């Protein structure tokens, strides 16, 4: 059982989900495609960590709703206190940012603008998730307590929002520098 398998169990420990939902909802924590998740769910089922009920839908494809078993919960609990690996980050934009002085100013601005747009979308999604979580838990202003199964989701959404905001601030800061240098060129064109 690899780390992603434990991640799937982690999501299922809060509430049952389909493979499709797991694929979508695990993204902010652990990037994975559906082609990786479906085979792992089948393995977890063989191991007795999860079970599923097949639901036939009209107007939509059939689906399997997975839930965690006692065996799965035990596996999760024994994995939890183990030391977590360092987070993995691979960010192509940062590689480009490293040699940004090679790019033409408007290319540079375009790259940063794209990143800004991306994280504006992320931020909107995270805010929507926070609103939905408050609906789900029935807490309009307070926060779910440590023992609530939604506690983890709550602290992660708050983290994601702060992270997206920081990303946007960095983009603004870089854009300002780019604009300043650009402005100087416009005011003082080269002789």
Partner DNA sequence: TGTTCCATGTAATTCGTTACATGATTAA
Partner DNA sequence: TTAATCATGTAACGAATTACATGGAACA
- The contact set with DNA (CB under 7 A) reads 2-4, 18-21, 24, 31-36, 38-39, 41-42, 57, 59-64, 88, 90
- Give me the least distance between CB of 86 and its own copies, in Å please: 7
8 Å CB contact between 75 and 6: yes
Within 10 A of 160 (CB to CB), how many other CB atoms are there? 19
What is the β-pairing status of strands 17-18 and 63-68? antiparallel
CB nearer to DNA: give 53 or 177: 53
CB nearer to DNA: give 62 or 70: 62
- Cα–Cα distance between 135 and 141 in angstroms, integer? 10
- Cα–Cα distance between 28 and 115 in angstroms, integer? 16
Residue 45 binds which one of its own copies, DNA, none, with CB within 5 to 8 A depending on kind? none
Coil, strand or helix at 76: helix
- Give me the least distance between CB of 131 and its own copies, in Å please: 19
Binders in 22-81 for its own copies, by CB under 8 A:
28-31, 73, 76-77, 79-81
Q: What single-letter DSSP state applies at residue 101?
A: G
What is the β-pairing status of strands 63-68 and 50-55? antiparallel
CB nearer to its own copies: give 54 or 146: 146
- Cα–Cα distance between 37 and 16 in angstroms, integer? 15
Residue in 70, 91, 141, 190 binding its own copies, rule: CB under 8 A = 91
CB nearer to its own copies: give 74 or 128: 74
CB nearer to DNA: give 129 or 144: 129
- Cα–Cα distance between 83 and 81 in angstroms, integer? 6
CA angle 8, 19, 25 (to 5 degrees): 60
Give me the residues that bind its own copies (CB under 8 A), please: 3, 6-7, 10-11, 13-14, 28-31, 73, 76-77, 79-81, 83-105, 107-108, 110-111, 114-115, 118, 143, 145-149, 151-153, 155-156, 158-159, 162-163, 166, 169-170, 173-174, 177-178, 181
């Amino acid at each position: 059982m690899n780390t992603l398998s434990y991640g799937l169990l982690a999501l299922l420990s809060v509430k049952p989900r389909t493979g499709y939902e797991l694929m979508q909802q695990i993204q902010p924590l652990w990037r994975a495609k559906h082609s990786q998740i479906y085979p792992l769910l089948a393995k977890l089922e063989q191991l007795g960590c999860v079970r599923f009920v097949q639901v036939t839908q009209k107007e939509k494809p059939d689906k399997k709703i997975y839930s965690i078993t006692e065996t799965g919960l035990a596996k999760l609990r024994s994995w939890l206190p183990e030391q977590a690996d360092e987070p993995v980050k691979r960010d192509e934009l940062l590689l480009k940012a490293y040699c940004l002085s090679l790019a033409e100013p408007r290319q540079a601005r375009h790259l940063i603008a794209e990143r800004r747009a991306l994280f504006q979308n992320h931020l909107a999604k995270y805010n929507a998730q926070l609103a939905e979580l408050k609906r789900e838990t029935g807490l309009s202003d307070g926060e779910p307590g440590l023992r609530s199964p939604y506690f983890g989701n709550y602290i992660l959404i708050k983290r994601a929002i702060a992270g997206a905001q920081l990303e946007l601030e960095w983009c603004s800061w870089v854009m300002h520098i780019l604009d300043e240098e650009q402005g100087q060129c416009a005011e003082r064109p080269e002789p």
